[in-house]
Structure 1
């Protein structure tokens, strides 16, 4: 596997994109992997990197980005919101399409958590497939998130504790844009969709994904569940059993639908 780290232009800043490429071959399908809320491409015990490695072993390019102000993305945290992150996903998708070793009509999207919401929001892109992992995919409904309203009212930001144990600042823009970016884009997406959900997820209500699966009435949606796993598949404990279970189902599905 070859690895390339590049920085692509988006609006008035740069988006870091880590591209993992199979060792042999000239032209590959590709997946863009989008991390979740207050995370990064290498956070959560390198969860997306582990998924990326297995995707590449299947003969597919896998790219991971750092969204606004996270990881190596140096854009101000004050800009952190759905509008900027949507533009970053779209710019990254276009960038992947135009790489000489990527088959431009065979690029898919995969998002975890808030990343799932982003890839559903970006389903107006010509994606070959879309995959949601424990995604906040109720894009037509407000996403209810608890935060310290006193801090927000008095400071203009609040402190949040992330799933990986970090402490971050979130500004009002993020919560405002959760409301102003509501959409039904996914209803017009005709290519294959895979929705995975951990049924005992304590972080994001599993019913968000379960209700989509039940009520979407879309024949292009496949799904499966993972039991006894938290929002990030227990990887913080160093036990990768559930992540490997996920990978064992997701990667073959990707491979069979993107090529």
Structure 2
């Protein structure tokens, strides 16, 4: 876990940030780090982790799946709550892509807020992902090319656990939710988020859309215009909702 702390001596609310599929906390041209910087400037602790076998997480790739990653999110959330400079009852969750699916799945935690950025948040439905079935059947793993240009191995466990971890947990979450979606996302069908916004019938859900941006807001090109647009909306929303004292997890 990497933790960024406001330059003051006090207790702060905190946000735990979860990266996407086959990424890491400092991948995607340091996208989460750039978001973290602005969160901290707003007087909020920002923490981000490397999920199973990614980045500096040394747990074997053979264990990469929704179950272990859900456990990692829950353990990290509880660890954040225990820190002396974190307000125990003021910790939120933010997830990008598969990270969005993870924070929705982990909405059973006492999170103050939940934010999904281009998230695979259709947690009650199978997430369709293309992969080489011949490789999987003959080798037990397949090679995948990530949206950031990386080449990784994925084992059968990941695809199996996408099915066995289906849930409707988010329907019982009562605190504020923010859903952002790039409407021209070529990597993850934007209708996943758009349909949730349209059909969830939850009065605690805010949302906004972004145009002319890919799954990681074009950051791989070195152009941060769209990411900054997202940050400019997400961070003020986080700040205004996570600091509300009359809000409590139900």
TM-score bin, normalised by smaller chain: over 0.9
Instruction: Tell me the SS of whatever aligns to 1:105.
Output: strand
What's the TM-score, normalizing by structure 1?
Answer: 0.93
Instruction: Tell me the SS of whatever aligns to 1:62.
Output: strand
Superposed CA deviations along residues 95-117 of structure 1, whole A, max 9, x for unmatched, are 00000000000000000000000
Instruction: Tell me the SS of whatever aligns to 1:69.
Output: coil
Shift of the alpha carbon at 1:144? Answer: 0.2
Superposed CA deviations along residues 155-210 of structure 1, whole A, max 9, x for unmatched, are 00000001111100000000000000000000000000000000000000000000
Whole-angstrom distance in 2 between the partners of 1:167 and 1:221: 35
Which residue of structure 1 aligns with residue 187 of structure 2?
203
Instruction: Tell me the SS of whatever aligns to 2:207.
Output: strand
Shift of the alpha carbon at 1:133? Answer: 0.1
Shift of the alpha carbon at 1:25? Answer: 3.4
Instruction: Tell me the SS of whatever aligns to 1:90.
Output: helix
Superposed CA deviations along residues 50-90 of structure 1, whole A, max 9, x for unmatched, are 00000000000000000000000000000000000000000
Which residue of structure 2 aligns with residue 120 of structure 1?
104
1:178 equivalenced with 2:162 (yes/no): yes
Instruction: Tell me the SS of whatever aligns to 2:88.
Output: strand
Whole-angstrom distance in 2 between the partners of 1:166 and 1:192: 34
Out of 18, 31, 35, the position equivalent to 1:34 is 18
Whole-angstrom distance in 2 between the partners of 1:139 and 1:24: 38
Instruction: Tell me the SS of whatever aligns to 1:107.
Output: strand
Out of 221, 238, 248, the position equivalent to 1:237 is 221
Whole-angstrom distance in 1 between the partners of 2:230 and 2:9: 27
Whole-angstrom distance in 2 between the partners of 1:128 and 1:53: 20
What's the TM-score, normalizing by structure 2?
Answer: 0.97
Whole-angstrom distance in 2 between the partners of 1:45 and 1:208: 25
Aligned pairs, how many? 242
Q: Which runs of 5+ in 2 are unaligned?
A: 243-250
Structure showing the higher strand proportion among its residues:
1
Whole-angstrom distance in 1 between the partners of 2:48 and 2:211: 26
Out of 43, 59, 62, the position equivalent to 1:75 is 59
Out of 37, 57, 63, the position equivalent to 2:41 is 57
Q: Which runs of 5+ in 1 are unaligned?
A: 1-16
Whole-angstrom distance in 1 between the partners of 2:150 and 2:118: 20
